[in-house]
Chains A and B, each alone.
Chain A
Amino acid sequence: MNYISFGVITVHFRSVKELIHEAEKRSIKLSAVIKEMEVEVQEYSLEQIEQRMLEQWYVMKESAHIGLKEPKKSMGGLIGGEGKKLNEYRRGTKTLAGQEINKAVSRALAVAEVNASMGKIVAAPTAGSCGILPGVLLTVQEEFNIPDKEIVDALFTASGLGIIIAQRASISGAEGGCQAECGAAAAMAAAALVEVRGGSPAQAGHACAIALKNVLGLVCDPVAGLVEVPCAKRNALGASLALVVADMALAGIESVIPVDEVIISMGEVGRALPESLRETAQGGLANTPTGKELNEKFLRKCVCQS
């Protein structure tokens, strides 16, 4: 049984604990449990869902490639080219954060820039947080020679945890702030990384919890309402955070607060945030003198163009 049955209605797992328990009981990967669940609920074959995820992985790779190679200025003109800049800086140099983190962050920035210039990306879980999963997974694929098939599995692990975060908390900045977008993406990515590197399902759960704990309360305060500042750089935060906490979990460090309680807490904190800090562009960085000035500049530009 890979689902809980209430009468005739079959439902998904409602907690990460149940997911981990199922995987450990049968000595299989989290992604195997999640794929079974997806096949059961959506009535597609295993091959179909794996193929669909693989196509999304190709789009992720392409978006990182485009963003690093041919960066464009964003719609609002506030960002563009930062991913490429970091990628060139880190090449052949000893850096403070190390090669893996800088590689992952430069890609996360690049994908976020493609998104901000109305290019094609995969929402992961949202467009505002679309750089984190491709950033870390592309890096780990290269560094450890991991085949696409295993990355696809890791993407299922990420989405399975994302389902529970969406159900028990939120994956919308308007509802839960940036912790629900870049925070959720980092938590999903951390769990995916642990699985790719051979960690246990429980370790993936700890990585997810630690990532989310570190961004609790993170507000969504886009300058001028654009998905540019600070969104791209929060993708950088999410990518570096995912790598660090995945290493922590693989080392055996545990989250004292269980992952499901962290997720519920994230939802509560999100609901407690004032509306000004939930994607309305009224508070936080959007409300700084520079943020307000950029907003006015952008509105003037819109009026002139229309």
Chain B
Amino acid sequence: MREYSCFDILGPIMVGPSSSHTAGAVRLGRLARSIIGGLPEEVEILLHGSFAQTYRGHGTDLALIGGLLGFNTNDVRIRDSFSFAQSVGLKFRFISTDLGDGFHPNTVKFIVFTKNQEKLTITGSSIGGGNVVITEINGYEIKLKGDLPTIITTHQDVPGVISRVSGVLANYKINIAFMRVFRKEKRKLAQMIVETDEQVPQEIIEEILKLEPIVNVRFIEPA
């Protein structure tokens, strides 16, 4: 059972019409942008369940693109986000689909092509009242609420990585709120999600990236 703040229940201050289908969609778009590390070149957006059925009437499509453009949930430009996307050259396509059982009714899957021709997949759900959770990045199952600063590493699955990363954070007096490590196969590539109480400046991210077993680090701003 998750912990709610009073402001998860009353709030956010947002542009309507739907907290789950508009505000939640903006936040999912913003988190995807943060995971990608900026504006993608091209994105295919798969909509599942209620998102697939009713996205147009709730402006879910406008909201997801608004989020990818970096707009906030209370930004009145959301209703014109398609024309903003066009002006910055973002190519996008919406596809209504069925991702299968076990997905929340308000689920979206982004298939992203970055400016460096990297392909990424990101899946997330809008779980009510504007709250969201990212459940998958590149085939790895995760659980990311996006309300705390988050570091995601990809690293060699060797002993000592966790203590080295947490050591760097400890040196800068950054407190770890939640942490999870997972992998697909033993002794190959693994991933670690570290949610922190404090903001993590770029130089710390770079210091973590310099650690020998680390392959990649993403820093995700709360959305």
Seen from chain A, the residues whose Cβ lies within 8 Å of a Cβ on chain B are 11-12, 14, 34, 38, 41-43, 49, 52-53, 55-56, 59, 74-76, 114-128, 130, 133, 155-156, 158-160, 162-163, 166-167, 170-175, 180, 188, 222, 224-228, 275, 278-282, 298-299, 302
Is the Cβ of B10 less than 8 Å from the Cβ of A170?
A: no
Q: Using known A-B contacts A118-B76, A119-B15, A227-B18, determine if residue A172 contacts B128 with beta carbons closer than 8 Å.
A: yes
Is the Cβ of B10 less than 8 Å from the Cβ of A226?
A: no
B18: chain A residues at CB < 8 Å are 126-128, 227
The answer to the question of B150 belonging to the interface, with a C-beta cut-off of 8 Å to chain A, is no
Interface centre among B6, B13, B50, B129 (most CB of A within 10 A): B6
A278: chain B residues at CB < 8 Å are 50, 105
Is the Cβ of B13 less than 8 Å from the Cβ of A59?
A: yes
Is the Cβ of B16 less than 8 Å from the Cβ of A115?
A: yes
Contact of B4 among A114, A167, A227, A228 (CB under 8 A): A167
CB proximity of B65 to chain A, nearest CB, Å: 13
Is the Cβ of B13 less than 8 Å from the Cβ of A126?
A: no
Name 17 extra pairs, CB < 8 A, besides A162-B4, A172-B128, A279-B20.
A42-B5, A49-B6, A53-B6, A59-B13, A118-B59, A119-B16, A122-B13, A123-B129, A163-B9, A167-B2, A167-B4, A170-B128, A171-B128, A188-B9, A279-B105, A280-B50, A280-B54
Seen from chain B, the residues whose Cβ lies within 8 Å of a Cβ on chain A are 1-20, 22-23, 49-50, 53-59, 74, 76, 78-79, 104-106, 127-130, 197
B13: chain A residues at CB < 8 Å are 55-56, 59, 120-122
Is the Cβ of B6 less than 8 Å from the Cβ of A122?
A: no
26 A-B pairs within 8 Å (CB atoms) are namely A52-B7, A55-B13, A118-B17, A119-B15, A121-B13, A121-B15, A123-B12, A123-B23, A124-B9, A125-B19, A126-B18, A126-B128, A126-B130, A160-B6, A166-B8, A167-B4, A172-B127, A175-B128, A188-B9, A222-B57, A227-B17, A227-B58, A228-B17, A278-B105, A279-B20, A279-B50
B128: chain A residues at CB < 8 Å are 125-126, 166, 170-172, 174-175, 180
Is the Cβ of B129 less than 8 Å from the Cβ of A172?
A: yes
A76: chain B residues at CB < 8 Å are 57
Is the Cβ of B6 less than 8 Å from the Cβ of A127?
A: no
Q: Using known A-B contacts A172-B129, A175-B128, A281-B54, determine if residue A159 contacts B6 with beta carbons closer than 8 Å.
A: yes
Is the Cβ of B9 less than 8 Å from the Cβ of A166?
A: yes
In chain B, what residue has the closest Cβ to A163?
A: B4
CB proximity of B44 to chain A, nearest CB, Å: 17
CB proximity of B47 to chain A, nearest CB, Å: 12
B78: chain A residues at CB < 8 Å are 118
Is the Cβ of A75 less than 8 Å from the Cβ of B19?
A: no
A219 to B39, CA, bound (A): 39
A226 to B18, CA, bound (A): 9
Contact of B10 among A120, A158, A279, A302 (CB under 8 A): A158
A129 to B15, CA, bound (A): 14
Q: Using known A-B contacts A125-B129, A172-B129, A298-B57, determine if residue A116 contacts B16 with beta carbons closer than 8 Å.
A: yes
Q: Using known A-B contacts A75-B59, A118-B78, A172-B129, determine if residue A123 contacts B105 with beta carbons closer than 8 Å.
A: no
In chain B, what residue has the closest Cβ to A173?
A: B20
Contact of A174 among B8, B22, B74, B106 (CB under 8 A): B106
Is the Cβ of B79 less than 8 Å from the Cβ of A118?
A: yes
In chain B, what residue has the closest Cβ to A155?
A: B10
B5: chain A residues at CB < 8 Å are 38, 41-42
Q: Using known A-B contacts A172-B129, A174-B106, determine if residue A222 contacts B54 with beta carbons closer than 8 Å.
A: yes
A74: chain B residues at CB < 8 Å are 17
CB proximity of B57 to chain A, nearest CB, Å: 4
B49: chain A residues at CB < 8 Å are 174, 280
A280: chain B residues at CB < 8 Å are 49-50, 53-54, 105
A125: chain B residues at CB < 8 Å are 9-10, 19, 128-129
B76: chain A residues at CB < 8 Å are 118, 120
A52: chain B residues at CB < 8 Å are 7
Is the Cβ of A123 less than 8 Å from the Cβ of B11?
A: yes
Contact of A167 among B1, B19, B53 (CB under 8 A): B1
A299 to B53, CA, bound (A): 12
B54: chain A residues at CB < 8 Å are 222, 225, 279-281
CB-CB nearest 4 A-B residue pairs? A172-B128, A225-B54, A115-B16, A225-B57
CB proximity of A185 to chain B, nearest CB, Å: 10
A166: chain B residues at CB < 8 Å are 4, 8-9, 128-129
